[in-house]
Amino acid sequence: MKLLRLEWLKLRRYRFFAISTLVMLLLVLLLLVFFGDINAFGQQPAEDGEGKQLTPLQEDFAALGLYQMPRAYANLAYLAGYFKFFAAILVILSVTNEFTFRTARQNIIDGLSRKQFFGSKLITMLLMALGLTLLSGVATLVMALGHEQPDSASYLKGLPVLAALFTEYLLCFSLAFLLAWTLKRGAAAILLFLLYYFILENILYFVLGEDLGQFLPMQPGRSLIEEPFTRLTKVDQIIGLAHQEGFPWKAFGLSWAYLALFFTAAYQLVLRRDL
């Protein structure tokens, strides 16, 4: 509780934190609520050679079942997953600011143990992941209730996806977290994080091939929640894509293995290094 209060005192007046949290929440809500209105097949109605409109290519995502339980959780979780980068930057800054302001050492001098100091940052990160997951869950519930649903049991059936979403957030944050502790500089950590996530790992994946590449640290995060659009638009049936049914245990397990590894590494770094 003390650690939580401490973090709250530090963050509540931090303008970037307040603004970005607000913006993030708004964007998540807007996306989840209005994505259903977007035409799944682009703005222009597709036409065949003779100028006759092809149906059902004008349908929006809501009509295709974006908010239909039990898949609604997964569908919206996939969209909400994009906000992890935003939040990851906050995770990085919450750590690197302590080094930029040299308050890390002052906190220790004032009496915080290294363990407590690390713990306070870990809690902040966990709460951010939890908050975003809950937000996605609640938004899904509200939207699903607004659209007709087959039965109430399907509401529960989709819930495990939220555990996957939580894991996806955490996995992404854990890399950001480790980089922040290692580099101590906000700009450097953010840059390297984005560079690795979007470019370096893709190159590695390509070089290593799928068999080995799937074990790269950020890969399980990508397969925790299945991309829903091919299924929604029934493109999957056209190209004959197989779906993974059930909970993605393999990606889930791999994610938590990496989580444990990254957190342990960061913790050891805090314990051993001179501040």
Partner 1 sequence: MSSQTVGETNTETVLHTAHLRKQYGAFTAVEDLSLQIQKGSVFGLLGPNGSGKTTTLGMVLGITHPSSGTFQWFQGRDNPPLKQRMGALLETPNFYPYLNALENLRLVAEIKSLSAPPYQEVLKTVNLHDRRRSPFKHYSLGMRQRLAIAAALLTDPEVLVLDEPTNGLDPQGIAEVRQIILDIARRGITVIMASHILAEVEKICDHVAVLRQGQLLYQGTVAGMVPGDSLWELGYEGAQELGPILQNAPSVAEAQPEDSLWLVKLHPAYDAAQLNRYLAEKGYYLKHLKERRSNLEAEFLKLVDQ
Q: Is 63 exposed, middle or buried (0-12, 13-18, 19+ CB in 10 A)?
A: middle
- What is the DSSP secondary structure assignment for residue 53, as one 8-state letter? B
Candidates 49, 51, 111, 240; binder of partner 1 (CB under 8 A) is 111
> Tokens 């690197």 correspond to what residue?
96
Query: In degrees rounded to 5, what are phi and psi of residue 47?
Result: -125, 155
The b-or-e profile of 197-211 (16+ CB within 10 A means b, else e) is beeebeebbeeeeee
> Which residue, 15 or 52, has its beta carbon nearer to partner 1?
15
> Which residue, 10 or 71, has its beta carbon nearer to partner 1?
10
Nearest distance from residue 246's CB to partner 1, in Å? 46
The SS3 call for residue 47 is strand
Nearest CA to 254 out of 215, 227, 210, 226 is that of 215
| Binding pattern for the stretch 8-27 against partner 1, x by CB under 8 A and - elsewhere | -xx--xxx------------
| Binding pattern for the stretch 67-106 against partner 1, x by CB under 8 A and - elsewhere | ----------------------------------xxx-xx
Nearest distance from residue 110's CB to partner 1, in Å? 4
> Which residue, 208 or 271, has its beta carbon nearer to partner 1?
271
Candidates 148, 151, 245, 274; binder of partner 1 (CB under 8 A) is 274
CA separation for the pair 215, 149 (Å, rounded): 38
Nearest distance from residue 149's CB to partner 1, in Å? 46
Nearest distance from residue 101's CB to partner 1, in Å? 6
| Binding pattern for the stretch 218-247 against partner 1, x by CB under 8 A and - elsewhere | ------------------------------
Q: What is the distance in angstroms between the CA of the first residue and the CA of the last residue of the chain?
A: 24
Query: In degrees rounded to 5, what are phi and psi of residue 53?
Result: -70, 140
> Which residue, 117 or 177, has its beta carbon nearer to partner 1?
117
Candidates 24, 87, 112, 139; binder of partner 1 (CB under 8 A) is 112
Binding flag, residue 115, partner 1 (CB under 8 A): no
Bridge partners for 60 per DSSP: 39
Residue partners of 259: CB distance under 8 A and separation at least 6: 167, 170, 171, 174
Candidates 64, 71, 108, 179; binder of partner 1 (CB under 8 A) is 108
Distance from the Cα of residue 24 to its chain's centroid: 12
Nearest distance from residue 89's CB to partner 1, in Å? 17
Nearest distance from residue 87's CB to partner 1, in Å? 20
Nearest CA to 247 out of 239, 255, 238 is that of 255
List contacts with partner 1 (CB under 8 A): 2, 5-6, 9-10, 13-15, 101-103, 105-112, 272, 274-275
